[in-house]
Amino acid sequence: MPLSHYVCTNCGFWQRYFQGGPPACPVCLDYRHPLPPEGWEFQTSAQVAANVSVHWQEVMPGIWQFWNEPQLGIGPRGYVVVEPAHGNIAFEGAGFYNQAALDFIASLGGVRYLSASHCHVYGGLWQLVEVFRPEVVMQQEELNFTQAFQVSWPFDDQAELHAGAVLYHTGGHTPGHTVLHLPARQLLFCGDALKFQLDDAGQAVAISTHRAYAAHIPLSHADVRRYQTVLEPLDFDGVLTPWEPVPHGGKSAARQLFAAQLAGRPFADFLPLSPSSLL
C-alpha cells in the first residue's frame, strides 16, 4: 500500500501514512498544543500546494527565511544558511515548499545539513530531505517525531556540523529541544527556547520562555537553569526564532529573562526589556 504525506491543518505537522490519512496528530495530542475544535483535518501535498503560496527573503546576510501564505498550522518559518565553504544548512521548516522554492534553494547550493529545534517547527523539512538528501541531524529525543523523514545523525548533547555550526541539546520546551549556534556570525537559532515581541522597527521589546505557549505553561527552574548552562558559554548577539529574526541584543535579553525567572515563581508572560539590556 503506497504511503503519502499528510499535514495536520491545526498545527502543521506532517505524517507519512496509509491512503486516507492518519487517525490523529501526535503533536496536537500532546499537552502543549490545543486540539482542533472542529476535529481532525489532514491534507495531502497536492491540496496544500493548491492552497498556499511560498515566500522567501534574505533576513540577514546569507540567511534566507521561507514562509507560507496563508500560514499552515502554527505557521513556522524555515531557514537556509548559505555556507559556500561547508555546505548549506536548513534549520526549522516552512510549512510547505513548492517547486519554485525548491528550485530557489537549489540555486543557493542545495542543503548539506538539515536539523530543527523540535517537532512543532519541522514544517515541510521532509521535502528538503527528499530533494537534497542532506545529513539529517536530530537530537535523539526527537526521533519519536521524525517518521516522515530519515535521520542519519542522531546526537546526545551536541553535534558539530562544522567548526562554524554546532547544535546543542537544551531540552526544556520539549525533551529533545535543540538550538543551532553559528559562532562566526554570533547568531543563535533558538527554536522555542526564547520568544520575542518586536516593535514596528523590528527591535525586541519583550521576551518570554515557556513549556507551552498556547496553554501558557511556564518552564520549571531546572529547565531555565539548563537553558542558562547551555546558552551562557555561547557567543551570540542576534537570535532567530522560528518566526522572528532579532538582529541584536538576544543574549543580554535572555540573561535578563533567566535571572527574572529564577528570582521567583516561574512565569509564561512576556518580560518587558529595559533599553539597557539591548546594548
| Footprint of Zn ion (CB under 5 A) | 8, 10-11, 13, 25, 27-28, 120, 192
Q: Pick the closer one to Zn ion by CB: 66 or 122.
A: 122
Q: Smallest distance, Å, CB 240 to Zn ion? A: 15
Burial class (CB in 10 A: 0-12, 13-18, 19+), 234: middle
* Measured CA distances, 6 to 32, 39, 44 (Å): 21, 15, 5
Q: Smallest distance, Å, CB 180 to Zn ion? A: 15
* Measured CA distances, 25 to 15, 19, 35, 116 (Å): 8, 15, 9, 19
Q: Smallest distance, Å, CB 175 to Zn ion? A: 12
Set of cell numbers at residue 243: 518566526
Q: Smallest distance, Å, CB 261 to Zn ion? A: 18
Q: Pick the closer one to Zn ion by CB: 11 or 81.
A: 11
Q: Smallest distance, Å, CB 82 to Zn ion? A: 26
Q: Smallest distance, Å, CB 139 to Zn ion? A: 14
Q: Pick the closer one to Zn ion by CB: 209 or 277.
A: 209
Q: Pick the closer one to Zn ion by CB: 120 or 181.
A: 120
Q: Pick the closer one to Zn ion by CB: 119 or 271.
A: 119
Q: Pick the closer one to Zn ion by CB: 27 or 231.
A: 27
Per the CB < 8 A criterion, the answer to whether 34 and 215 are in contact is yes
Q: Smallest distance, Å, CB 190 to Zn ion? A: 11
Q: Pick the closer one to Zn ion by CB: 48 or 102.
A: 48
